Amino acid sequence: MTDALPNSPAAQRFPVVIVGAGPAGLTVGNVLRAAGVDCLVLEAETREFIENRPRAGVLEEWAVRGLEARGLARNLLERAELHTACEFRFSGERYRFSYEELTGRRHFVYPQPLVVTDLVREYADVRGGEIRFGVRDVALHGLGTDRPSVSYTCPATGRRQVVACAFVAGCDGARGVARASLPPGRARVARHDYGIGWLALLAQAPPSSDCVLFGCHPRGFAGHMPRSPEVTRYYLQCPPGDDPADWPHERVWAELRQRLGAAGAPPLAEGALIEKRVLDLHDYVVEPMVHGRLLLAGDAAHLVAPIAAKGMNLALHDAFLLGDALVARLTEGDDSGLAGYSEACLRRVWDYQEFSQWLSEVFHGTASGDPFRAGTTVARLRRLFTSPTAAAAFAEQYLGTAVRY
């Protein structure tokens, strides 16, 4: 429900404005709507665009259970593929790491476009949440006051609209306006550049294995991530800033065959490359994640390079905590969730960042050109398959199952 602001016939009011309809923003919106709290989601792209944008695909079991507890996992539980192992390939051999045998836990593989499609449908079509697509020039105002507002240009009329609110949830990803609206000097932004590029590929091809493959090869890392029976994601390490046009079909598949090659490995199932872009691997963390009435969540607050497939999981973790904290504040006046929100999120964020750095060395050390790093990398890899303690620690971090963060 909205009402006009005094002296401003064009203005509207919602308790919460959510900027960005990715996994973080849509989950917060769904939690609020389930509790009867009104909110408005503002999204720069069209609904069709966000429902088709390919990105992540691996969900940790705790995240799936979190969605399920909030009534948001029906399709996911019916359709997701369950993964029980991953496979490292190095020194010409295959080493299967069966994490389910060690922990009883699995990964759920469910492409991000399906996660987003389910969340939009539930928010807008089932729970009756308001969402405006294609908005332009979103700007945040009065974040240090208790009367913040958000303005944007309406795509249909070209007019500026103003929405007053009590809280702004900044869920607009790595390139959004929320992080850019932080007053200078108020937040610490810690950044890490790996100095490594990944050619991120989507192939119109069935998976070449029943599990994720990590090729740790002197020519560079190669990854294989099943997404669906028809589509598979691959990664190839490349120099940062490389031009995807320099990676024609033949070169990509020749390189994948070499880097993922190992004794007894079945041939790769080749197919047309339907996405090809270079990611310059980097991480950042904004601390704290709360500034006045602006609450950051997901990639807006922290980016973790896709090395360990953690980004969407962290976005969901933030969204669960933020949604619950806003509900407590707006329905019962309980501020404790909001007060502890940033710290509770950042404990898991830093843990996942550390694991991604550790795994980066495992993936990239053998191709570093430094024989010392190559030697220690192989030692790390061997330890996973010779030491049950090391294996258990890896499984815990890979699956995000630590009892406390």
Ligand X SMILES: Cc1cc2nc3c(=O)[nH]c(=O)nc-3n(C[C@H](O)[C@H](O)[C@H](O)COP(=O)(O)OP(=O)(O)OC[C@H]3O[C@@H](n4cnc5c(N)ncnc54)[C@H](O)[C@@H]3O)c2cc1C
Considering beta carbons, is residue 81 or 373 the nearer one to ligand X? 81
195 CB-contact burial (10 Å; exposed 0-12 / middle 13-18 / buried 19+): exposed
Binding residue for ligand X, selected from 28, 31, 32, 42, defined by CB under 6 A: 42
**Residue 387 Cβ, how far from ligand X at the closest point, in Å?**
27
The contact pattern for ligand X, residues 120-139, with x = CB under 6 A and - = no contact, is ---------------x--x-
Q: Can you read off the two tokens belonging to residue 78? A: 């019916």
Contacts of 100 (CB under 8 A, 6+ apart): 84, 85, 106
For the CB of residue 186, give the shortest distance to ligand X in the complex, in Å.
20
Q: Which of 16, 17, 18, 24 binds ligand X (CB under 6 A)?
A: 24
Give CA–CA dist 212/218, Å, rounded.
19
For 94, what's the count of Cα atoms within 13 Å in the CB-facing half-sphere?
16
Q: Applying CB under 6 A, does 143 fall inside the site for ligand X?
A: no
Nearer to ligand X, 207 or 311 (CB): 311
**Distance in angstroms (rounded) separating the CA atoms of residues 243 and 286:** 30
The answer for residues whose C-beta is within 8 angstroms of residue 8's C-beta and 6 or more apart is 162
The CB-of-36 to ligand X minimum distance in angstroms stands at 23
Chain centre to alpha carbon of residue 256: 25
State which of residues 15, 298, 323, 400 lies at the interface with ligand X (CB under 6 A). 298
Q: How far, in Å, CA of 227 to CA of 314, rounded?
A: 19
Compare residues 172 and 255 and give the one whose CB is closer to ligand X: 172
Select 200 or 205, whichever has its Cβ closest to ligand X.
Answer: 200
Q: Please identify, using beta-carbon distances, which residue of 87 and 172 lies nearer to ligand X.
A: 172
Choices 72-80, 284-292, 302-310, 386-394; region in contact with ligand X by CB under 6 A: 302-310
Is 203 one of the binding residues for ligand X (CB under 6 A)? no
Task: In angstroms, give the least distance from the CB of 23 to ligand X.
Answer: 4
Nearer to ligand X, 28 or 330 (CB): 28
Cα–Cα distance, 294 to 147 (Å, whole number): 11
- How many chain residues bind ligand X (CB under 6 A)? 35
Residue 332 CB burial class (10 angstroms; 0-12, 13-18, ≥19): exposed
Site for ligand X in 160-199 (CB under 6 A): 171-173, 175-177
Q: In which residue are the tokens 């691959």 written?
A: 234
Residues 312-351 that bind ligand X (CB under 6 A): 312-313, 315
Q: Which of 309, 326, 359, 367 binds ligand X (CB under 6 A)?
A: 309
- Beta pairing class for 220-226 and 58-60: unpaired
Residue 244's CB is within 10 A of a number of other CB atoms, namely 16
66 lines the binding site for ligand X (CB under 6 A): no
Distances (CA, A) of 232 to 54, 90, 201, 209: 11, 21, 8, 10
301 neighbors 176 (Cβ within 8 angstroms): no
> What is the rounded distance in angstroms from the CA atom of residue 158 to the CA atom of residue 136?
9
Q: At closest approach, how far in Å is the CB of 259 from ligand X?
A: 18
Per CB under 6 A, 44 contacts ligand X: yes
In this complex, which beta carbon is closest to ligand X, that of residue 182 or of residue 379? 182
The residues of the shown chain that bind ligand X, judged by CB under 6 A, are 19-25, 42-45, 50, 55-58, 112, 135, 138, 171-173, 175-177, 200, 298-299, 306, 309-313, 315
